[in-house]
Structure 1
Amino acid sequence: MLCFCRPEQSMASPAFSCFLLLMSTFALAESGSIGVNWGRIANDLPPPPKVVELLKSQGITRVKLFDTYDGALTALAGSGITVVVTLPNEQLSSAAADQSFTDSWVQSNISKYCPSTKIVAIAVGNEVFVDPNNTTDFLVPAMNNIHASLVKYNLSDIYVSSPIALSSLQTSYPTSAGSFKSDLVEPVIKPMLEFLRKTGSYLMVNVYPFFAYSANSDQISLDYALFKQNPGVADSGNGLNYYSLFDAQVDAVYAAMSALQYNDVKLVVTETGWPSKGDSNEIGAGAENAAAYNGNLVKRVLTGNGTPLRPNNTVDVYLFALFNENQKPGPTSERNYGLFYPDEQKVYSIPLTMEQLTSGESNVSKAQVPTPTAGQTWCVANGRAGEEKLQAALDYACGAGGADCRPIQPGSACYNPNSLEAHASYAFNSYYQKKARGMGTCHFGGTAYVVTQPPKYGECEFPTGY
């Protein structure tokens, strides 16, 4: 039976059953995961064993490779790090034409390393739809053959998918109007989504808010692109509000899948990142923005929020990339997406795990990542979180959380306005200030967020510290 401790009830010692409900609710909520792309288009990178040591030292437990490089797969053996490998685009035609090819490929590149190396997925090609060699027609047949070979060698628990770029969308704004390019739908998108549904796999998507911002900086707020506080963007089509460009782009893909009746297929963001350096025309490139984007993204993913359109789906992300790669062609930004320099020094410091996020061990520079603790801040309730979730978080804050909720009792100074959002905001802020506005103390399962202006609910004054 559900139990609710309403604002008008005594909150100094809430019913134990409500506390249990809250704990079970938060315990069941899974957070997303953070991984990293290990690219190797460079001539100055450390050897694979050193890279694996670096990954382990940073708490990184998920890696994506752009091939099946023996050095990497051998070094990863026994590390406990899960691995996504890639069948390169140039091998798609062979994989599509003959299952004997994929049988041999799976034996040489997958089963050879399993189970000591934890290969969990195969990316068949990469952004095939924009491949200048026109390999689109080979994609789904290759995926089918790879899967059949995995089944043949008792490796069917390895997922098969293919990363797509956002350029595969015909429309991405507003988010609710998301749709795939019409010339791709029947030949490849529908068959691919059907394959993913049938095999229980997920769609791999590469999402780069940097590209959209850099090309449209006169229309897109930098704060919106970097997960900073902003007024949000309302989607008139679905009535939802978006507070980050990343979420809007992810939901545009979900909307495109939904339009084709594939609501049940999940997606994983297999690439996303922000360059720490760029050419003069690459607006927004720079170390401060890169640290802000990736740092705030990690926090957003690890605290377990879904997207506005898919609130119950966790967001799993692979950051691009582990290292700056000095031989990548193209603009300066292409060589400066790394979290680390080739000498293993950090380009900037951000948390990469929940432990780092909550303990502050990442030593994030305030000059690189503007944080809520720089200056006076307050914690308020997210009115969009839903009454049940908000109520459970309020009960926790006023109970086990130890917030001072006496001012929101009937007849007290902050009882009015007598609304769940107002009372929750007061309780959340009390907890946040008592915890010295520490990172992660204004979240409450996604029901709260930090503001830089003092909240105003009637005549109630919110505390600024204890």
Structure 2
Amino acid sequence: MSKLKLVSLLCFFLFQSVYSLDDYGSIGVNYGRVADNLPDPSKVVDLLKSNGITRVKIFDADSSVLSALAGSGIGVTVAMPNQLLSAAAKDESSTDAWLKSNIVPFHPKTKIEAIAVGNEVFVDPQNTPYLVPAMKNMYNSLQKLNFSSDIKVSSPVALCALQSSYPPSSGSFKSDLIEPVMKPMLSFLQQTGSYLMVNSYPFFAYEANTDTISLDYALLRPNQGVKDSGNGNVYKSLFEAQLDAVHAALDALQFTDVKVVVSETGWPSAGGDKEFGAGADNAAAYNGNLVRRVLTGGGTPLRPNDKLNVFLFALFNENQKTGPVSERNYGLFYPNTNKVYDIPLSLDALNSTMSDPANGSKAQVPVASPPVNDGGDLSPSPNGHTWCVANAQAGQEKLQTGLDYACGQGGADCGPIQSGEACFDPDTLQAHASYAFNSYYQKMSRASGTCDFGGAAYVVTQLPKMGNCEYPTTRG
């Protein structure tokens, strides 16, 4: 191969990688340390890097952890513990001192991206009045250091802050929180360009409602979905339903432009006798399917153009956590750094990992890689166009369901795949579904979330061509 061709190929694949990272959401991980058997922070950084994890969230601002992360390029969210909120709320001298001790010695060599002021503060009503003043003082102190453009200020909110969450369109915050806390906090986030952190655990909802919630729905496995009686949206996962309940609550308060980051979510790999659903297979399915969902693009039904940015909980099993058995078994890794179960945690790993249909624990398809195309060819797109193609790994039933929707309710132009027309050959379900999926995707202006069809489709950056049929790149 000539050097010119080699350089061209390298540039093309680099373009694919950059496109994918920019276009899709991100996966981070919570690095909790309530344990007496965890590896040294320097080894933890090696573990993060070897698994392609580029974002991490810690529950304090531990100097040994921040020192180990220096120069790694890994984005870090640090936390001010709840017990410091009252002092931080009184005046800026407290937040000035906290930043001087915990941030200034490390940033920017350690890439600190955000400060979580407290954690699930509303669970303890005594701390609730201090939250917004503490956040404002933290931001003002960051401004003095010229860090406010680099480091966002937010605070993780538990779903118990919602008064209503079902159906998702009825989502609303608790009435006693709206005026004193939620409106001022959301106004602050809006003014500073920050985002709302939300801790979302479908496991808890499933565990408490196994008689009414499908396990497939909770684990992001293929299912018939649940229709929102308020707006007609169909949800294929409890995760997205929970997230849209938060979005609906934001919309109800007229904060439609405030983004949401899922600061915690996960599924335990072990639990007690009455912790229904806890187990390694289910944990692998939930986290693996969620990673795929995030890294293959698309938002939620209420926010289809918003990227999903998620921090999994947690990096390690933590043996000193109190409470039920599950609390000590959320880790992706054992303290010896062996995986509890094998799932991809990055786009590169997702690209190179094929699915395990039996438990959904791995990515269903490679992302931005050529589909099986019945003997056709693929040509690189010179101008950044993308197309939507069928995922052969999804199975015949899901492909047919997606095809029926695209050509029916979806309004795709399926005339060319009818018998005797230009795109009828090759006469296979995958080829016809690919054409229909792409027609719908282009019709929807390639908006995020319009190339999914319940996992039956994915986006590629190369022009599909099956037989003599060329795929459109516009609405037609």
Q: Is the TM-score greater than 0.5? A: yes
Deviation of the 1:196 alpha carbon: 0.3
| Paired amino acid for 1:304 | G
Quote the residue 1:229 is aligned against. 222
1:185 aligns with 2:197: no
Q: Deviations over 1:53-80 (max 9, x none)?
A: 0000000000000000011000000000
Would the aligned equivalents of 2:30 and 2:313 in 1 still touch at CA under 8 Å?
A: yes
Quote the residue 2:76 is aligned against. 83
**Which of 418, 429, 433 is matched with 1:425 structurally?**
433
Deviation of the 1:372 alpha carbon: 5.9
> Kindly tell me: are residues 308 and 108 of structure 1, through their superposed partners in 2, closer, same or farther at Cα, counting changes over 3 Å?
same
SS for the counterpart of 2:239 is: helix
| Paired amino acid for 2:148 | S
The 1-side partners of 2:184 and 2:96 are apart by 22
Quote the residue 2:147 is aligned against. 155
**Which of 436, 440, 446 is matched with 2:451 structurally?**
446
> Kindly tell me: are residues 407 and 66 of structure 1, through their superposed partners in 2, closer, same or farther at Cα, counting changes over 3 Å?
farther
Deviation of the 1:30 alpha carbon: 1.5
Quote the residue 1:98 is aligned against. 91
Within-5 A mapping of 1:330-341: 330-341=323-334
Quote the residue 1:456 is aligned against. none
Quote the residue 1:174 is aligned against. 167
| Paired amino acid for 2:421 | Q
> Kindly tell me: are residues 422 and 45 of structure 1, through their superposed partners in 2, closer, same or farther at Cα, counting changes over 3 Å?
closer
Would the aligned equivalents of 1:408 and 1:423 in 2 still touch at CA under 8 Å?
A: no
Would the aligned equivalents of 2:297 and 2:449 in 1 still touch at CA under 8 Å?
A: no
> Kindly tell me: are residues 153 and 390 of structure 1, through their superposed partners in 2, closer, same or farther at Cα, counting changes over 3 Å?
farther
Q: Deviations over 1:323-380 (max 9, x none)?
A: 000000100000000000000000000011111112118x969567387699982335
Quote the residue 2:158 is aligned against. 165
SS for the counterpart of 1:111 is: coil
Quote the residue 2:106 is aligned against. 113
The 2-side partners of 1:232 and 1:408 are apart by 35
Residue identity over aligned pairs, in percent, reads 57
> Kindly tell me: are residues 423 and 376 of structure 1, through their superposed partners in 2, closer, same or farther at Cα, counting changes over 3 Å?
closer
| Paired amino acid for 2:136 | N
**Which of 395, 401, 410 is matched with 1:377 structurally?**
395
Deviation of the 1:131 alpha carbon: 2.5
| Paired amino acid for 1:182 | S
Within-5 A mapping of 1:318-333: 318-333=311-326
Quote the residue 2:231 is aligned against. 238
The 1-side partners of 2:394 and 2:23 are apart by 31
> Kindly tell me: are residues 47 and 27 of structure 1, through their superposed partners in 2, closer, same or farther at Cα, counting changes over 3 Å?
closer
Residue segments in structure 2 that go unaligned for 5+ positions in a row:
1-15, 366-391, 439-447, 457-476
| Paired amino acid for 1:377 | G
| Paired amino acid for 1:169 | L
> Kindly tell me: are residues 160 and 28 of structure 1, through their superposed partners in 2, closer, same or farther at Cα, counting changes over 3 Å?
closer
Within-5 A mapping of 1:37-436: 37-131=30-124, 134-157=126-149, 158-360=151-353, 369=361, 377-378=395-396, 379-380=399-400, 381=402, 409=421, 425=433, 427=435
SS for the counterpart of 1:446 is: coil
> Kindly tell me: are residues 60 and 27 of structure 1, through their superposed partners in 2, closer, same or farther at Cα, counting changes over 3 Å?
closer
How many residue pairs get aligned? The number is 399
SS for the counterpart of 1:231 is: coil
The 2-side partners of 1:308 and 1:203 are apart by 18
Q: Deviations over 1:31-72 (max 9, x none)?
A: 000000000000000010000000000000000000000110
Q: Deviations over 1:169-190 (max 9, x none)?
A: 0000010000000011011000
> Kindly tell me: are residues 412 and 335 of structure 1, through their superposed partners in 2, closer, same or farther at Cα, counting changes over 3 Å?
closer
The 1-side partners of 2:335 and 2:209 are apart by 32
Deviation of the 1:390 alpha carbon: 8.8
The 2-side partners of 1:187 and 1:202 are apart by 19
SS for the counterpart of 2:204 is: helix
Would the aligned equivalents of 1:29 and 1:304 in 2 still touch at CA under 8 Å?
A: no
Deviation of the 1:305 alpha carbon: 1.0
Name the structure, 1 or 2, with higher relative contact order (CA <8 Å, separation 6+): 1
Q: Deviations over 1:392-440 (max 9, x none)?
A: 9x99xx9xxxxxx69672695899xxxxx9985264799xxxxxxxxxx
What is the RMSD computed on CA atoms of the aligned residues? 3.3
| Paired amino acid for 1:281 | K
The 1-side partners of 2:47 and 2:362 are apart by 26
Would the aligned equivalents of 1:303 and 1:446 in 2 still touch at CA under 8 Å?
A: no
> Kindly tell me: are residues 90 and 377 of structure 1, through their superposed partners in 2, closer, same or farther at Cα, counting changes over 3 Å?
same
TM-score by length of structure 1 reads: 0.79
The 1-side partners of 2:328 and 2:420 are apart by 54
SS for the counterpart of 1:73 is: helix
SS for the counterpart of 1:51 is: helix
The 2-side partners of 1:444 and 1:200 are apart by 24
The 2-side partners of 1:36 and 1:29 are apart by 19
The 2-side partners of 1:90 and 1:350 are apart by 36
TM-score by length of structure 2 reads: 0.77
The 2-side partners of 1:411 and 1:118 are apart by 50
Residue segments in structure 1 that go unaligned for 5+ positions in a row:
1-22, 399-404, 416-420, 431-442, 452-466
Would the aligned equivalents of 2:344 and 2:362 in 1 still touch at CA under 8 Å?
A: no
The 2-side partners of 1:367 and 1:304 are apart by 22
SS for the counterpart of 2:292 is: helix
Would the aligned equivalents of 1:232 and 1:244 in 2 still touch at CA under 8 Å?
A: yes
> Kindly tell me: are residues 60 and 428 of structure 1, through their superposed partners in 2, closer, same or farther at Cα, counting changes over 3 Å?
farther
Deviation of the 1:222 alpha carbon: 0.4
